[in-house]
Chains A and B, each alone.
Chain A
C-alpha cells in the first residue's frame, strides 16, 4: 500500500486519539511564565525539579521561568503593571503583598483557594501572609524561618552557653570578640536589607509598629532597642567596622570565613553555610528573646497569579508547589521549609538536629509587617536613620523620631 504525505500527516494527527490518551492531557494546552527571585544554584536546582515534576503531571501546561534579581523585583513588577505586561504567575514575599495588591498586580483567588482540597491543611497565619483586605492572593510555597547561626567550636573554646536572650547574646559576643585574631562576635547587617533587624529589635523590645493602620511605635522602647543594637558597634565593638555597609553577602562571608561568631538570617542560607563549614563548627539557634519577648519572622513566600486570563492553568501550577512531592524535592535541594505543616512533619526535618531551632521558631514566629508602604518606609527611612546612629551622626532617639515621622507620612 502506498501512502501519500497527506495521509501520513493525517494519521499522525489522529494517533493520540487512537491510543486513548486521557482527555485531560489536551484539555489545558497553555503556556505560563513564572517570575521569581531565586538566585543560587541550589534554588535553581530546586526550581528545575519542581518544574520537571509539574511537567510530568501536567503535560498540557508549559511553564517557563524568569529570574528577576530580588533587589529589582519590585521595580520590574511596578514597570510591568504600568506597561500592562505582567507575568502570568509570580513569586511574592509576604511583606510585598500589600503593595502589589494595591497596585493591582495580583488576581483575587479567594473563592478558588477556599474550595481547594488542601486549604484546611495550612494554619491561619500561613494564609495571612497572602491575604490583603480579607482576600487571598496566592498559595504559600515555602517558608523562611528566622534563626541564628553560631560557631559551636568557638563557643566551646570559651565555655559559653548558647544565648537565649539578647543580654546573653551581647555577653557571648563580647567574650568571643578578639580583634588581635580579627575575630568578632556578630555579623551586623547595616547595609542593604538591614532594616529588617532594626524593626525586629523594636518589636523584641516590646514596641508594636502599626496597629489598626496607625503608627504605634513606643518611642521609649524603640529608642532602647535601636541604642542597644547600634551599641554592638559603637560601644562594644563586637561587630566588624564595615557593618554600616554590610549586606547579605558581606555578613555571610564574614561568618563563613571565620571573622564572626554569630549571624542572624533564616533557614534559606543553611545550604550555603553547610557547604562552607564542617558540622562540628557551627550550630543553629532560635533568635534570642528581647525584653519584650521573642521576635522572629516566619516569612511565607507564596505564588500568585497576575494574569486573569490564565487563572485555570495558573492555579494548577501554583497549587502544585503545595504537594508533598515538589515540596520535599525543593527542601532537599535548598533546605527551604515547606509551608504546609503536614509536609513539614516529614521525618527528614523532624530528625535533623539543625532544624530543631526552626521547628521551635514555628511555634512563636510572627509574620513580617505587611501594611501598605512598608517597603518604602523600611528602605528609605528605617535603614538610613539607623545607619546614622551606627556611624555616630545622630542618637538613637533622633533616629526613632525620624522613623516615627516617616511612618506617619507613609501611612497618611
Chain B
C-alpha cells in the first residue's frame, strides 16, 4: 500500500472518523449516495433559479406598485393578464419582438455562416482574421450601442457621410427618428454585434466535419453547392439548432441595445416586450404588471424552444 492510499483509507474507514459520522460509510455504499452528493447543487439551483422564477410568477398575480403601497400587495388573480390583453401597447411590442428576433437571428445566422465558411479555408492571415471577427462580440452591448448611435448620428455620423459620398443618400438621414427605419437600423447594429456568436460556433462545427465526407461526395460528383447542402448543413444542424435557441432567448430577454439607440421610440415603433416590461417596473414601478409581461415572455420562449427543437428533429438525430 502506498502512503496516499493508506491515508485515504484511514480517513474513510478509520475508527475515529466512523465514530464522528456514523452511517456515512454505510450510506456511501447504497444506491442513493449519488443523489446525496447532488443535494448541495440542487439546493443552490433551487435558491438561485427556481425560487426567483416562482416568486416572479407569483408577483404577476399580486398588486405590487412600489409607489402605491396604499393599494396593498394582495392577490388580484388574472387582473394584470386581462389588462395586458386589452393593452394595444402589449400587442405592438409583441409584434416588434417577433420582427426584432426573427430579423436578428436570420441576419446573424446568415452572416455568421458565411464568415465561418470563409474562415474555414486555410488561407494565410485567416487565423488573425478570425480573432478580429470576434471583436464585435467582445464589446458590451452598452458600448456597441453608443458607438453605433454616434456612427449613425444624423449630424456627425460617419455612415451618413459615407452614404452621401457614394451617392446612395442625397442628405444625412436621421435613422432612429423615422418609425419606418428605426427598427431596421437597430437590427443592423444587433446583427453586427451578434453574428460572431454564430461564426464562432459554426466554425468549430465545420472543423469537426471529417474531410472523408467531402471526398466521398466529390467522388459521387457533388459540386461545392451540393456538398454544402448534403454534407455541411446536415453536419451543422445540431449546432445551428442549439445556437438559434440560445440566441433567441438572449435577444428576446435583452432590450439594452434598443434602449440605448431609441428608448423604444419614436412613438413605440421599436418597443419590444422586454423593454415594455422594463419600463413597467422601472418607470411605473408596477412590479405586478411588469412581472405579468415577463411571465408571458417566459412562456413564449419555453413554447418556442420546445417546438423548435421538436420540429428540427435534432434530439432524435
Contacts and interface: CB of A to CB of B under 8 A. Distances in A.
Interface stretch (B21-29, B228-236, B242-250, B277-285): B277-285
Interface string A69-81: 0000011001001
- What is the interface residue range for chain A against chain B? 35 or more
B22 to A, nearest CB: 42
Contacts of A253: 155-156
B68 interface: yes
Contacts of B176: 242, 245
Given A74-B283, A103-B285, A245 B68 contact: no
Contacts of A216: none
Contacts of B274: none
Nearest to A99: B67
Contacts of B177: 190, 241-246, 391
A329 interface: no
B66 interface: yes
Could you say which of A103, A373, A380 has the most chain B C-beta atoms within 10 Å of its C-beta?
A380
Interface stretch (B126-134, B207-215, B259-267): B259-267
Interface string A157-199: 0000000000000000000000000000000001110000000
A405 B240 CA distance: 46
A15 B115 CA distance: 72
A373 B271 CA distance: 21
B174 A242 contact: yes
Contact of A78 (B174, B266, B271, B285): B285
Interface in B133-162: 153-156
B222 to A, nearest CB: 50
A102 B267 contact: no
A93 interface: no
Contact of B263 (A191, A373, A376): A191
B263 A81 contact: no
Interface stretch (A44-52, A110-118, A353-361, A382-390): A382-390
A391 B177 CA distance: 8
A315 B101 CA distance: 51
Given A242-B154, A242-B155, A383-B265, A81 B283 contact: no
Interface string B168-181: 00000010111100
Contact of A380 (B68, B179, B262, B279): B279
- What is the interface residue range for chain B against chain A? 20 to 34
B66 A103 contact: yes
Given A190-B266, A192-B263, A380 B155 contact: no
B272 to A, nearest CB: 14
B282 A74 contact: yes
Given A241-B154, A372-B67, A387 B282 contact: no
Contacts of A191: 263, 265-266
A128 B176 CA distance: 39
Contacts, number: 107
A253 to B, nearest CB: 7
Contacts of B281: 78
A240 B154 contact: yes
A253 B153 CA distance: 11
A253 B281 CA distance: 32
Interface string B280-296: 11111110000000000
Nearest to A247: B263
B178 A391 contact: yes
A216 B77 CA distance: 32
A340 interface: no
B98 to A, nearest CB: 20
B266 A376 contact: no
Contacts of A81: 66
25 contacts: A74-B283, A82-B66, A102-B66, A103-B66, A104-B69, A190-B266, A242-B154, A244-B177, A244-B265, A245-B174, A245-B265, A245-B266, A246-B177, A250-B153, A254-B155, A259-B155, A373-B67, A376-B286, A379-B279, A379-B283, A380-B280, A380-B284, A387-B266, A388-B268, A410-B284
Interface of A: 74-75, 78, 81-82, 98-99, 102-104, 190-192, 240-247, 250, 253-254, 257, 259, 372-373, 375-376, 379-380, 383-385, 387-388, 390-391, 393-394, 410
Given A376-B284, A391-B266, 6 more contacts: A243-B177, A244-B266, A257-B155, A376-B279, A379-B279, A387-B268
